[in-house]
Structure 1
Amino acid sequence: MRARLDIAYDGTDFSGWAVQPSRRTVAGSILAVLEQVLGADVATGLTVAGRTDAGVHATGQVAHVDLPDPVWAATGPTLLRRLAGLLPGDVRVTALAEAPAEFDARFSATFRRYEYRVTDSPWGADPLRRRDTLAWPRSLDLERLNAAAEGLHGEHDFAAFCKRKENATTVREVTRLEWHRVVADGVLVATVQADAFCQAMVRSLVGAMLVAGDGRRPPEWPASQLTRRERSSAVTVAPPHGLTLVAVGYPDSPGALAARATATRRLRTPAS
């Protein structure tokens, strides 16, 4: 059977999601505990919606894993609590449930939504939020930030904002991109949503908008980079710790899940 895992983590001390030899990663930590509870090679095919970079956090990450039916029948009711007792404190599986066979955490997703937190307070980030909030050394104007964001909406080739991979497309559709200032503490939050993101894309978009927000570039400048077909050296990648994956969306029905996965594979997989 296929199990869906909803996952949250503080990415500060992880070298990203993907398993890497001799490095502490989110996937590595989860797989180690699954092996401890279920036995070696029982849980297979761990697949995630978004492979976050080192230092990036998540409150709404989603993954799937395949388990033999008898194992799920025997351990399913207690598995979530057992994982909670064994996982390190900076990663949690917040929900665990049987998913349709058609569910694919990566390819069935219709959107990924991130938030990026920035403070322009002269005294810096709140000590209790310093791990997920960037302290910006200049004052930021909310109207300029949203004007910069407006030009980045829609489907574009975001090559200027991506670390290009061979034979991989950099065309993405940004369906939501906006800033708001939190009344309680004055922190600025960017919400960025798209069908998918290429590597470093969200942090590059944020970096381009920040220099428009503090007045060093005009609000039209980030959108002007969309004419480039290669990584722009003028775009600074914002630090990872301000970024959190907050939600991943999926269709409701098994048929729609399968159709979405098929369409996404056709779109994302380069021809041989």
Structure 2
Amino acid sequence: MNEDLMRLRIDLAYDGSNFNGWAKQRHLRTVQGEIEAGLTQVLRLPAGDHFISAEHAGMSQYPWVPQLVVAGRTDTGVHAAHQVCHLDIPRETIEGCVGHLNSSPVQALEHRLQHVLPRDIALHRISVAAEGFDARFSALERTYIYRICDNLSVVDPRMRPFVLNIDGPLDIETMNVAAASIVGLHDFGSFARANPGGTTIRKVKYAHWERVSNSSSLERTQFYQAPILESGLVCFTIVADAFAHNMVRSLVNACLRVGLGKQDLEWFKDKVAQPVREGSTGPVAACGLSLEHVAYPPDNQLASRAQAIRAKRTL
């Protein structure tokens, strides 16, 4: 990387309800677009067209503009409890944002950006990235959770924007038998939009359905204890090294068809064994899906991980 540039790691969260996904698009509200607009404001950069390609960004004939690289490009309506991205920024540019603040340039940027971002984006932290860090390619795994309500009498109304309501009840035991068949290295072509030049082969490390109980590990006392917000909801947790487009929501939809008795387990397992996209395995609504966590290796393995994951994999 250019020595005049500093790589920053940005940890954040967002309510995806009113965003057209992560990736910036002309004339549409997106998470990336809002953050890059906020960076433009606090760094006092000239407002203009920020659709300069990554390969041209930083070249002398093009002005520097913020270009975020993200761990996972969430779709329209998908939320993130913890998203990670990185930004390569000229050292001179970030030093200029300190102003009257008695702090480092990175701390000053974090402070100023927190105060201009919209309420549906929460900036957790900005830090100097470790050597070799790449928000996308260095990641070891991503964890998503999909939340469903199959009993309207138990859902907390504060959770409604983040939950899919269905006419249940769901057979969670059978859904977990289905989910067990996707763990491991598979071609998820039945559950993902085709990627020209890429692959739909992914390694799922964990996939499990559970109904959340209000009996938590917190010790009960003689006083009132507030119930868990998710109590009564059915949650699907899935962990994989990476995800293909629409993969999680399509897997959820297929599991729901099994859990509601509309399809049997053999149908589901055949979809895993025969990676052919067809209408009955399309994605379920985005509202219930949230990116919960992105895991990275130790700092001394970041560069090697990024190099390895760029290779196109096969079964």
TM-score between the two structures when normalised by the length of structure 1: 0.93
2:124 to 84, 89, 94: 94
Distance 2:151 2:269 in 1: 27
Contact 2:250 2:281 (8 Å CA) reproduced: yes
1:38 to 38, 43, 48: 43
Q: Map 1:63-78 to 2 at 5 A.
A: 63-73=85-95, 74=98, 75-78=105-108
Distance 1:28 1:223 in 2: 40
Q: Cα offset for 1:123?
A: 4.2
Distance 1:220 1:242 in 2: 26
Tell me: CA distance 1:92–1:42, structure 2 relative to 1, closer, same or farther (3 Å): farther
The DSSP-based 3-state class of the residue aligned with 1:198 is coil
Name the counterpart of 2:306: 261
The DSSP-based 3-state class of the residue aligned with 2:138 is coil
Distance 1:199 1:124 in 2: 32
Distance 1:130 1:266 in 2: 40
Name the counterpart of 1:244: 290
Higher helix share: 1
Report which of the two structures shows the higher radius of gyration computed on alpha carbons.
Answer: 2
Deviation by residue 1:94-148 (Cα, 9 ceiling, x = unmatched) = 1111112310000111111100000100448432111111111121122111111
Name the counterpart of 2:7: 2
Contact 1:118 1:133 (8 Å CA) reproduced: yes
Deviation by residue 1:173-231 (Cα, 9 ceiling, x = unmatched) = 11110011111221011001111111000000000001111222223432210233331
Contact 2:36 2:67 (8 Å CA) reproduced: no
Name the counterpart of 1:133: 163
Tell me: CA distance 1:176–1:231, structure 2 relative to 1, closer, same or farther (3 Å): same
Distance 2:308 2:148 in 1: 36
Distance 2:91 2:120 in 1: 30
Matched, 1:143 2:184: no
Distance 1:77 1:122 in 2: 44
Distance 1:19 1:253 in 2: 29
TM-score between the two structures when normalised by the length of structure 2: 0.81
2:83 to 40, 61, 65: 61
> Number of matched residues?
267
**Structure 1 residues without counterparts, runs of 5 or longer:** none
2:268 to 200, 206, 222: 222
What is the RMSD of the two structures over their aligned residues, measured on CA atoms? 1.6
Q: Cα offset for 1:82?
A: 1.4
Matched, 1:116 2:146: yes
Deviation by residue 1:24-71 (Cα, 9 ceiling, x = unmatched) = 000000000000011336553310000000000001110000122244
The DSSP-based 3-state class of the residue aligned with 1:45 is coil
Tell me: CA distance 1:220–1:60, structure 2 relative to 1, closer, same or farther (3 Å): farther
**Structure 2 residues without counterparts, runs of 5 or longer:** 1-5, 46-62, 99-104, 215-230
Amino acid at match of 2:80: A
Tell me: CA distance 1:42–1:94, structure 2 relative to 1, closer, same or farther (3 Å): farther
1:178 to 187, 191, 208: 208
The DSSP-based 3-state class of the residue aligned with 2:125 is strand
Name the counterpart of 1:14: 19
Q: Identity percentage over the alignment?
A: 42
Distance 2:181 2:94 in 1: 48
